Amino acid sequence: MLTKDFLLTIGLFLWMYFLWNRRRLYSMALKLPGPLGLPILGIAIECILNHRKLTIRTKYMDKYGSTVLLWLGITPFIATRDPKVAEQVLSAPECINRSSILTRPIAHGLGEGLLTLEGAKWSERRKHINQAFKHNVLLSFFPIFNAESKSLLTLLDSLVGQGEKDILNDIIRWSFRIATQTTVGTDVQHEENFKNDTTLKSYQRGMKIVILNILLPFTQNKIVALLCGLEGQRLKIVTDIDNMIQKIVDKKLNTKTENSAQPEMQSVINKSIELFRNGEMPMQDVKGECSAMVIAAFETTGLTVRHTLLLLAMFPEYQEIAFEELKELFPTAGYFDVDYEDLQKMVFLDRVLNETLRLMPSVPISARETIRDFRLSNGVVIPKGVNFGVDIFNIHRNPDYWGPDPGKFNPDNFLPDNVRDRHPYAFIPFSKGKRNCIGWRYGVLSAKLALAKILRNFKVSTSFRYEDLEFADNVGIELIKAPGLAFERRT
């Protein structure tokens, strides 16, 4: 009996100690609206049962307001669709770090890089890697963009008359090939694992493990990972990717640089090797940085192209306007190169691309973690270590900034007169502030070039209705049902 009473006393003491340590979180919760959810579980079960639908957050924001506190288990998570709050968060030095919920699994699975580094380390690395995304460097990538887009056109031509097909894997393969070549160099084309898509599959399997680690954090535990077989899979994936990058790094290390001022010498791998030679970056980080850039580029760019084609198939009247613009620039269909000056003339396609990124942003949420206490403009203090989600998907559909029908596909949203008076953080497909997407110009240029070639050569159609699209949270936005596209040749 004494032992039982003693254990109950110890248990009660530990419970009180736990609650006391979290007192600031509960104080914050009293000042921010939001659902309590189930005891201990919060809204986690609802998210899982509803396939992580993005409309779950929309529902709560419609009910409680544009900035809400959601409990994911016993972890508080603040989400906002208010551009003013987003500006505060994305501009604040207290929120410079990405959420460790995301960065730990990525770093563990695929290595350290700009995606995962924190504070001063991130800031210093960003200064160096910025040089790999200067205008002249991006222009040097156009031969790769054009060559790989030509291969994509050949593949799509084989689908003519075949009915509706889900082309996501084909688009992802195209974007992976350009992302890898522009990151580590065109020499990668000679690697067998690159040619047979083994490396692409390794990255995709690695991201599946990362997503599992994010959704079920206990799988990051080494013992659990070993028992589940995840650790063995992870090590094989890392080894396969590292071996490919290491071969290219070794070749570059053994080659004398002729002219470091050439744009191709400013690529991510060459800048990383330069830092390695200067003793500023360990070799593991060279490989991690290259992997991080490939991951950040290929899925997001691929999704943008696929989603733009999908929306134009659903709204053929806008597709015809885009086609006429392209036909004026390129009177003859077939294989043609597109240069930077050509892209600047595609004014309507620009608006279509922006409207696609508004309704279907490749990354639906930008999650930050406070490195010290942070005070919102309404006076609420967000304690150190709290995760804050800038909900890009719902910011882009906030009726206070996009009108009474914010889900409507309307490229005219990006006419100059409509853009001029809109809050600068009402449209943030590449995040914003100091930690915005380093490769956003790269993504826009490569996506727009591919779209120009596809839309000039093919008419796309689908029987899937826009109203039936459903979106889910993932590292990149996910469609719960995958619509197919049919292709018809243009002349």
Per-residue pLDDT tens over the stretch 263-303: 656 789 998 998 999 998 899 888 889 988 898 888 899 99
Length, in residues, of the chain: 491
In sequence order, the β-bridge partners of residue 75 are 72
In a shared domain, residues 237 and 297: yes
Give CA separation, 319 vs 61, 94, 303, 358, 411, in Å: 33, 44, 18, 17, 11
pLDDT tens column, 30-61: 899 999 877 777 887 787 777 788 999 999 99
Give CA separation, 279 vs 152, 159, 247, 272, 487, in Å: 40, 50, 20, 11, 52
Number of domains in the chain: 2
In a shared domain, residues 481 and 375: yes
Sorting pLDDT into bands at 50, 70 and 90, what band is 2? low
Beta-carbon contacts of residue 173 (< 8 Å; ≥ 6 apart): 197, 200
- Measured CA to CA, the distance from residue 277 to residue 309 in angstroms comes to 44
* Last residue of one domain, picked from the residues 49, 72, 95: 72
Please give the pLDDT value at position 413. Answer: 97
- Measured CA to CA, the distance from residue 249 to residue 271 in angstroms comes to 11
Residue closest to 77 by CA, chosen among 92, 55, 95, 99: 99
On whether the CB atoms of residues 245 and 203 are closer than 8 A, the answer is: no
Q: Largest alpha-carbon pair distance within the chain?
A: 91
In a shared domain, residues 165 and 244: yes
| Average pLDDT in the chain | 90
Sorting pLDDT into bands at 50, 70 and 90, what band is 14? confident
Q: In one letter, which amino acid is 103?
A: T
- SS3 of the chain: helix, strand, coil, percent, to 5: 60, 10, 30
- Measured CA to CA, the distance from residue 229 to residue 44 in angstroms comes to 25
DSSP class of residue 38 equals: B
Residue 57 maps to a domain: yes
On whether the CB atoms of residues 97 and 371 are closer than 8 A, the answer is: yes
- Measured CA to CA, the distance from residue 164 to residue 407 in angstroms comes to 25
Residue 108 maps to a domain: yes
Residue 192 maps to a domain: yes
Residue 158 maps to a domain: yes
- Measured CA to CA, the distance from residue 194 to residue 176 in angstroms comes to 10
On whether the CB atoms of residues 180 and 194 are closer than 8 A, the answer is: yes
Residue 410 maps to a domain: yes
Residue 251 maps to a domain: yes
Please give the pLDDT value at position 432. Answer: 93
Q: Is 209 exposed, middle or buried (0-12, 13-18, 19+ CB in 10 A)?
A: buried
Give CA separation, 154 vs 37, 149, 158, 197, in Å: 51, 9, 7, 18
Residue 472 DSSP SS3: strand
- Measured CA to CA, the distance from residue 444 to residue 353 in angstroms comes to 8
In a shared domain, residues 250 and 144: yes
In a shared domain, residues 182 and 36: no
pLDDT tens column, 139-191: 999 999 999 999 999 999 999 999 999 999 999 999 999 999 999 988 888 88
Query: Hey, CA dihedral for 29, 32, 38, 43, is it positive or negative?
Result: negative
pLDDT tens column, 326-358: 999 999 999 999 999 999 999 999 999 999 999
In a shared domain, residues 237 and 352: yes
Sorting pLDDT into bands at 50, 70 and 90, what band is 417? very high
Residue 476 maps to a domain: yes
In a shared domain, residues 452 and 357: yes
For the chain, count helices (H), then strands (E). Answer: 23, 11
- Measured CA to CA, the distance from residue 92 to residue 81 in angstroms comes to 17
Domain boundaries, position 422: 81-489
Placement of tokens 């030509």 in the chain: 150
Give CA separation, 362 vs 93, 443, 459, in Å: 25, 11, 24
On whether the CB atoms of residues 336 and 330 are closer than 8 A, the answer is: yes
CATH number for the domain including 255? 1.10.630.10
Q: In one letter, which amino acid is 255?
A: T
Task: Please list the alpha-helical segments (H only) found in 111-229.
Answer: 119-129, 135-140, 142-157, 168-184, 192-195, 198-215, 222-228
Residue 24 maps to a domain: no
In a shared domain, residues 68 and 168: no
Placement of tokens 């530990």 in the chain: 14
In a shared domain, residues 157 and 247: yes
In 254-350 the beta strands, taken as DSSP E runs, fall at none
CA 31 from chain centre, in angstroms, equals: 31
- Measured CA to CA, the distance from residue 231 to residue 240 in angstroms comes to 14
Sorting pLDDT into bands at 50, 70 and 90, what band is 258? low
256 pLDDT more than 70: no
Sorting pLDDT into bands at 50, 70 and 90, what band is 16? confident
Please give the pLDDT value at position 8. Answer: 84
Please give the pLDDT value at position 163. Answer: 96
In a shared domain, residues 299 and 409: yes
In a shared domain, residues 159 and 46: no
In a shared domain, residues 239 and 145: yes
On whether the CB atoms of residues 52 and 474 are closer than 8 A, the answer is: yes
